[in-house]
Chain A
Amino acid sequence: MHKTIIPLCLAGTLTATGAWAQDDTIQIGVPVFLSGPAAGAFGQPERNAAELLFDSINEGSVPAPYDSEGVNGRTIEATFSDEASDAVVEYRNLVDRNGAEVVIGYTSSANCKSVAPLAEELQTLTVFVDCGTPQIFEEVVTDPTYVFRTGLTATTDAVGAARYLVDTGVDLSRVAGINQNYAWGQDNWRDFTGSLEALETGSEIVSEQFPQVYVGQYGAEASALLTSSPTLIFSSFWGGDLEAFVLQAAPRGLFARSQVILTTGEALFPTIPDELPEGTIISARGPFSVFAPENELAEWFRTAYAERFGQEPTYPAWKMAQAVLGVKAAYEKAGEGADSTAAAEAMENLEFEAPSGTVRMSLGNGHQAAQSISYGTYVLEDGEPGVENVITYSAECINPPADQTAAEWIAAGFPGAECD
């Protein structure tokens, strides 16, 4: 008897899941990191933001222009999935088994790269939230229909960082870098040093540290950085690694002796605002969080998020909110009864409002968002983390033109860049 029960249950689940996709609901698959080292820094805020947005959209409590209930009146039903598993297999499961009409998520560039061609094959609107590799629309899918990315590429971080340092007159004679030894860290360092060259700073690279990712111990690297006496230290560390680096390097005087720039520094606000030395140059990888413009959506998002989760949203949460609102905007532009294909068509070259201001899907054949990036120096105002000396670089200043890859553009010295 026992033997027959299991296959029967299995068959039951198989048939039931297919039937869920009804017209009054819209299935959205959300793959984010729910386990592993990236879960705390990215997965959790992304998941929180997605849940908040889905619930608020279903209730119709998001401010205008998103104050209608649901997506074209359809209630959102979300399936969260863990990115820390085989991305290709689980993407198929989300779409084929769970009947996801839209997939919003992905933080890892490796996952974005492997999923992008599959999204085109399965003809499912797929919006990447946070993965940074510029290759998605440069090499992987050069003629996209269903794949979009509402977040900026890693290149814009590095280019923006170099411009900020030059514009604020930071001493760039001796430059050092500490970045994680994997694609993200390597690409950031390459783009940053390339940008310094393009801006003709004449910098000497005095130390390049590439510790293993997720090591958590940076004593040796901090010493190596100190002895090379750099005037500037660049780091693209994130999450637990960034926290550990700041906690270990600051007491050694690294931040006092050199100017330090942390491209993901904003993410430290909820965790170690008191330990992060003031004067450190930080960014939020786009116009998010403290760099966000003052508008009703931003105000609503900040308050609603803090109320529900007891913490200010960090930039991954802002990026998730942006992606979800982009999908809602696309569906509503496509009109009543729109499906995945119609929404994807409408999302091309779309301009939509987000808590971070207006987002224009103007790059990558209309599939990649162009947004500004801001840098500033960290300051504690009455115990509250904030930034000053903020400079914002427009999308036209820090993104390559449509016909050039990021690497070519940097090597050629930013041709066509329009900076104010």
Chain B
Amino acid sequence: MMKTDFRREPLHIAILAGLLILGFFLPDWMRFLLQTALAGGLVALGVALQMRAGLVNFGQGLYYVLGGYAVGMLAAKAGITDVFLLLIAAIAIATVAGVVLGLLLSRYREIFYAMLSLAVSMILYGLLVKAAWLGSTDGFNIPAVTYLGWTPDRTVRPDVYYITTAVLTVLACLATARYLTSGAGMLCEAVAENEIRLEYLGASSRKVAFIAIVVAAALSGLGGGLFAMSTGHVDPLMTNWTTSGGFVFVALLAGRGSTIAPVIGFFLLELVRTYALDFAPNAWQMILGSVMLAVILLLPNGLWSLTEWRRKA
């Protein structure tokens, strides 16, 4: 089991912030790819957090879609377009869902946790597909968001959205790092390794798991909200098992050594995907699959293990 030390996190997050500032000057299409990848990366970070406690969530898309639909419904149906209100609502709704489901799910481990979380997310998928007033599988579009009464003009909108996403991603990573260095965060690994011993020491493994679930839910809600704002469209695919499986995969691929690993990992994977698609529109999944397989085989601890290896050498 790889031991992780999160005291170096502020440095990692500073590096991420630096990269995101450089990212501002990328070509438009790649910056947009980065922007949506940051949103997805937050969800993958949520999955990675739970993995530290030995919980593999195959239904993290549930909180992602809740965040996305919260933004979408408030903006498109209720006419609230202030980005701060929208994103707070996205986080709040996902957190509430995390608390309610966490009460149930924190009792379960291993395959039971994975299957239950998958089941709940697919129930929501089924409900959304049935909801004709929400556009069923077509989903619905979301109008442009405003900033405290200011509507960014079409020409600056991409810049403003990117900055919003980048700043919030960095803040979310900082908050997550703070959580990981707290008691509740550090005990996660103990839950994965030996729950009985943890209980003897006087800690509640259920409580530790519960907090991890809720923190992951909040992160994913924010990710969903940012994704909805970026693409201007939400649909139920956000909570389909294929989407959730993708987040689990990124969490594995990126490694759990740092909060910034899933965020950067998600972007790299998206980059491989879009170039594979451009290079071989008929066989892009095969290229993507080969890359994933190669990473898993060559770097069993994820991409992040490259940085550890360098330090040792």
A interface residues (Cβ-Cβ under 8 A, vs B): 13-14, 34-35, 79-82, 85-86, 88-90, 92-93, 95-98, 109-110, 113-114, 116-118, 121, 133, 135, 139-140, 181-184, 186-187, 190, 213
Contacts and interface: CB of A to CB of B under 8 A. Distances in A.
Contacts of A190: 132
Interface string B268-304: 0010011101100110110000000000000000000
Nearest to A32: B281
A80 B281 contact: yes
B28 interface: yes
A35 B285 contact: yes
Max count, chain B CB within 10 A of own CB: residue among A79, A96, A110, A213 = A110
B232 A183 contact: no
A225 B233 CA distance: 36
Interface string B70-103: 0000000000000000000000000000000000
Contact of B282 (A14, A34, A114, A133): A34
11 contacts: A34-B282, A35-B285, A80-B281, A82-B277, A82-B282, A85-B273, A92-B29, A93-B274, A96-B28, A114-B139, A183-B137
A85 B141 contact: no
Nearest to A213: B137
B178 interface: no
A181 B129 contact: yes
A117 B136 contact: no
Interface string B228-243: 0001110101000000
B129 A96 contact: no
Nearest to B154: A121
Contacts of B277: 81-82, 85, 90, 93
B33 interface: yes
B233 A88 contact: yes
B233 A114 contact: yes
Interface string B116-154: 000000000000011010011111110000000000001
- Interface on chain B toward A: helix, strand, loop, or mixed SS? helix
Contacts of B231: 86, 88-89, 114
B278 A89 contact: no
Contact of A113 (B130, B139, B275): B139
- Nearest 7 A/B pairs, CB to CB: A114-B233, A96-B29, A183-B136, A182-B137, A183-B138, A88-B231, A110-B138
Contacts of B274: 89-90, 93
Contacts of A80: 281
Contact of A110 (B28, B29, B137, B285): B137
B235 A89 contact: no
Contacts of B29: 92-93, 95-97
Interface string B10-36: 000000000000000001111011001
A118 B137 CA distance: 20
Given A182-B136, A183-B135, A113 B284 contact: no
Nearest to B274: A93
Contacts of A117: 141, 232
A79 B129 CA distance: 32
Interface residues of B, number: 34
A34 B154 contact: no
Contacts of A184: 137
Contacts of A182: 129, 136-137
A13 B275 CA distance: 10
A89 B37 CA distance: 10
A311 to B, nearest CB: 18
Contacts of B233: 88, 110, 113-114
B278 A110 contact: no
A95 B278 CA distance: 12
A97 B273 contact: no
Contacts of A187: 132, 136
Nearest to B232: A117
A194 to B, nearest CB: 13
A110 B237 CA distance: 10
Interface string B207-244: 00000000000000000000000011101010000000
B236 to A, nearest CB: 9
Contacts of A95: 29
A98 B275 CA distance: 11
B232 A93 contact: no
Given A81-B277, A93-B277, A187-B136, 15 more contacts: A13-B275, A14-B27, A79-B278, A81-B278, A88-B231, A88-B232, A89-B274, A113-B138, A113-B139, A113-B140, A114-B141, A117-B232, A118-B232, A183-B135, A183-B137
Nearest to B36: A89
Contacts of A116: 141
A34 B278 CA distance: 12
A374 to B, nearest CB: 27
